A = this chain, B = another copy of it.
Amino acid sequence: MALVTSGNSEFDRDTAVTRRATGIYEAQLSAGWTIIQAVNGGYLLALMGRALGDALPHPDPLSVTAHYLTASVPGPAVIRTEVVRTGRTMSTGTATLVQFAEDGSEVERLRVLAAYGDLGALPDDVRTTAKPPAIPPYEHCLGADSAPGGAPAIPGSTAIAGRLDLRLDPATAGWAIGAPSGRGEMRAWFGLADGRDPDPLSLLLTVDALPPTAFEMGLSGWVPTVELTVHVRHRPAPGPLRVAITTRNLAGGFLEEDAEVWDAEDRLVAQSRQLARALGVE
């Protein structure tokens, strides 16, 4: 048995897993990353990423897809990984996270399929036309401590709010005071509350940490993720991240959320897309 983690930040402690056997890990889902009762999907993805980073020969997540099957709850969980293929520059693996019902039977929470590589070994070429999001300076954005008059704190009075240093662009925070913009946009500064710098693993949390764009589209219902895919494109520089999320198509009770994460050196470090159910319109 071996503890798999890095450092002693809240994020690293709460995403630590214990190897019980080759490819099999025990984890404790922390209550510190919940939104109301639900364990945050990005936190779960980082936990799976931690296990896969140990099970696979390459260190960094390049492309990670998760299908969310049932709602995870704080407490013990088991992660089982399978090495699908090992190549020179990339390896591919799957992971499943299960929890246990009162009768002891296993309940699968999510299934992951991922490609890992070494971001440090990639060439330095950059030919990007994407631009960092237009977002006001950090001090002009809204945090959990600066909710507009009487509104619920942003991003909501939930445990995860205490773990994150999230500052929403006021232009995408109207939902919090009952005045959503109607646009499928959400932008924020993102950091971990204890100052832990970003790395490829924490980006798996970052892409799913903002309030749903559906709130700004005027939907009040919950927006459970069906599938989330993250591409980690570059190792993030220390310092605050900027996250921009866009929804262009809400139809048939589903919507996509496209997230971009930019680091302090204006590098596009992660892109993600999730398919979610818009229960508010069903």
Closest to A131 in B: B248
Say whether, besides A84-B108, A233-B251, A252-B119, A63 and B227 are in contact (CB < 8 Å). Answer: yes
B123 touching A281, Cβ below 8 Å = yes
How far does the Cβ of A207 sit from chain B's closest Cβ, in whole Å?
13
How far does the Cβ of A48 sit from chain B's closest Cβ, in whole Å?
13
Say whether, besides A65-B227, A226-B62, A226-B90, A252 and B113 are in contact (CB < 8 Å). Answer: no
- Pull 9 A–B residue pairs with CB atoms less than 8 Å apart, ordered by A: A63-B275, A65-B113, A67-B115, A125-B250, A127-B217, A128-B248, A227-B229, A231-B275, A233-B254
Q: How many residues of A contact B (CB 8 A)?
A: 48
Complex interface: chain B residues within 8 A of A127 (CB): 217, 250-251, 281
Interface: A130 (CB within 8 A): yes
Complex interface: chain B residues within 8 A of A249 (CB): 128-130, 233, 268, 271
Complex interface: chain B residues within 8 A of A233 (CB): 249, 251-252, 254
Complex interface: chain B residues within 8 A of A242 (CB): none
Copies in the complex: 2
Measuring CB to CB, which residues of chain A are less than 8 angstroms from any residue of chain B?
Answer: 62-63, 65, 67, 69-70, 84-85, 90, 92, 94, 108, 111, 113, 115, 119, 122-130, 183-184, 217, 226-227, 229, 231, 233-234, 248-254, 256, 268, 271, 273, 275, 281-282
Complex interface: chain B residues within 8 A of A275 (CB): 62-63, 115, 231
Say whether, besides A113-B111, A115-B227, A253 and B125 are in contact (CB < 8 Å). Answer: yes
